[in-house]
Structure 1
Amino acid sequence: MSEHIRLSIALCRIGFYTCLRTLCCKGPPTPRPEYDVVCIGLSGAGKTALLSRLCSEGIDGIVPTTGSDNIKKYWSRYYQGSQGVVFVLDSTVSDEEMEACRSELHLALQHPQLCTLPFLILANHQDSPTARAVPEIKKYFELEPLARGKRWILEGSTINNMEAVRESFSQLIRLLEEKELRPGRI
């Protein structure tokens, strides 16, 4: 067969396959919805490193965001239009810093623009020997009574186990999808 005929047969196969797939309702998968999620946490918690690793980017040279303590008062400007919240905390910090983190999380959970949104709380740096365990953080942050009726997840995280971080984000996506299915809820 000439090359011209082979090409025509190949194109017909592709055309036939496309028509057959369309007729059998096996078209391309529908795209997953996109969500606007705000990521907050105190300086040095590891937000940038986690998100960089999650996007398969390098983490060499990552330093805490300059002036992040000064921009904390502007966090609420980023809340508008958000559909979910990722709160990253450093599980190795001092008691004083942990109390500041607890206070910020409580403020976020009670903020009018966030209080109905699903939360993913990542207790970062769990690979450190000085890290507080997730159940200890849950108890210390008083999440059960504070977040009653809210949809939230508290998981440990580390940049050395991105599979666990991806699973945590998958859980958040399930909460976001669940919200879409609830009619009439605000």
Structure 2
Amino acid sequence: MCESLRILGALCRVGFYALYRRICCKGPSPVRPNFSVLCIGLENAGKSSVLATLSEDDLHKVEPTIGFSIKAILFDDCILEVKELGGGDKVCPYWERYYQVFQGIIFVIDSSSSDEKLHIAKTELYKAVSHHQLKSIPLLILANFQDKEGARSTEELTNYLEANTELKNRQWLLRGCSIQNKEALHQIFHEFNEILMKNLDDDIEQRKNSPQHGNRL
């Protein structure tokens, strides 16, 4: 029941935005695809702050996610309906209970964290992406807190995560970010959104060319 109310709230925000655009811009807003995306990462990796920055929310009101939250993030070309899961020690073991049909995954890493925390993040990352409900969808790894002293570079993290080997059979991006640089953050998601939209176009084309589709015509 609680999850249904959260989803309804996210959809209402999208609806209000569309109505606002229609009234203020004196015409219907362009049709934009909606993508369901999962956002995970350890506690204090900055997941909520990243999502709040993208949606122009007040960062002073951001609180750590205990269970899960749902946020609709509006871009010019698409809408991401993001389910964010809390990253506490008592929550991570239950992540898979919240897995469903997603079009993409966002995994946020604190690039300035200790070696121990980074090792845990690597373990949880590969445990999640190997799950049967998530193993074939695009992955965006955000190396957050690049503005902090001691933050590891994207090259260092790519090597540490062995991403070129472990993720060779899926679409993935690893990008450094900081909420202090909103423009760069939006550019990262522009790249990610392009992957999601291309996959959607490919899926539509494949369905059009399938024998089952031809038999229905």
Shorter-chain TM-score category? 0.7 to 0.9
Cα distance change on mapping 1:180 and 1:92 into 2, 3 Å: same
Tell me the TM-score normalised to structure 1 length: 0.79
CA distance in 2, matches of 1:165, 1:179: 22
Following TM superposition, by how much is the alpha carbon of 1:61 offset from its aligned partner in structure 2, in angstroms?
A: 5.0
- In the superposition, the TM-score normalised over structure 2's length comes to 0.68
Q: After TM superposition, which residue ranges in structure 1, 4 or more long, deviate above 2 angstroms?
A: 27-30, 61-69, 181-185
Alignment match, 2:32: 32
1:140 corresponds, among 157, 160, 163, to 160
Residue 213 of structure 2 corresponds to none
- Alignment map for 1:111-126 (pairs within 5 Å): 111-126=131-146
Q: 1:97 aligns with which of 104, 111, 117?
A: 117
Please list the CA deviations of residues 41-63 of structure 1 after superposition, one character each: whole Å capped at 9, or x if unmatched.
Answer: 00000001111111111112534
Q: Is the 8 A contact 2:52 2:62 kept in 1?
A: no
Corresponding position of 2:7: none
Give the gaps of 5 or more residues in structure 2: 1-26, 68-87, 208-217
Moved more, 175-184 or 131-140: 175-184
Q: 1:83 aligns with which of 76, 88, 103?
A: 103
In 2, Cα distance between the equivalents of 1:116 and 1:163? Answer: 29
- Amino acid corresponding to residue 43 of structure 2 in structure 1: S
Whether the 8 Å contact between 1:126 and 1:156 is mirrored in structure 2 is yes
User: Normalized per residue, which structure has more strand?
Assistant: 2
For the Cα contact (< 8 Å) 2:36–2:103, is it kept in 1? yes
| Residue from 182, 190, 195 that aligns with 1:175 | 195
* Cα displacement (A) at 1:77: 2.6
Contact 1:109/1:147, CA 8 A, preserved across alignment? no
**Residue equivalent to 2:184:** 164
What is the root-mean-square deviation in Å for CA atoms of aligned residues? Answer: 1.9
Q: Distance in 2 between matches of 1:145 and 1:98?
A: 18
> What is the identity percentage for the equivalent residue pairs of Structure 1 and Structure 2?
39
The answer on 1:41 being equivalent to 2:61 is: no
Give the SS at the match of 1:85.
Answer: strand
**Which digits, 9 at most, give the CA deviation of each residue in 1:109-153, with x for residues without a partner?**
211111110011100000112100110000000000000120011
C-alpha contact 1:119 1:151 (8 A) present in aligned 2:
yes
**Which stretch shows the higher mean deviation, 171-180 or 43-52?**
171-180
The aligned counterpart of 2:94 is 74
Q: Which has the higher contact order (CA 8 A, sep 6+)?
A: 1
The whole-number CA distance in structure 2 between the counterparts of 1:178 and 1:165 is 20
The SS at the match of 1:70 is coil
The DSSP-based 3-state class of the residue aligned with 2:157 is helix
In 2, Cα distance between equivalents of 1:36 and 1:70? 25
Which structure's CA Rg is the greater one?
Answer: 1
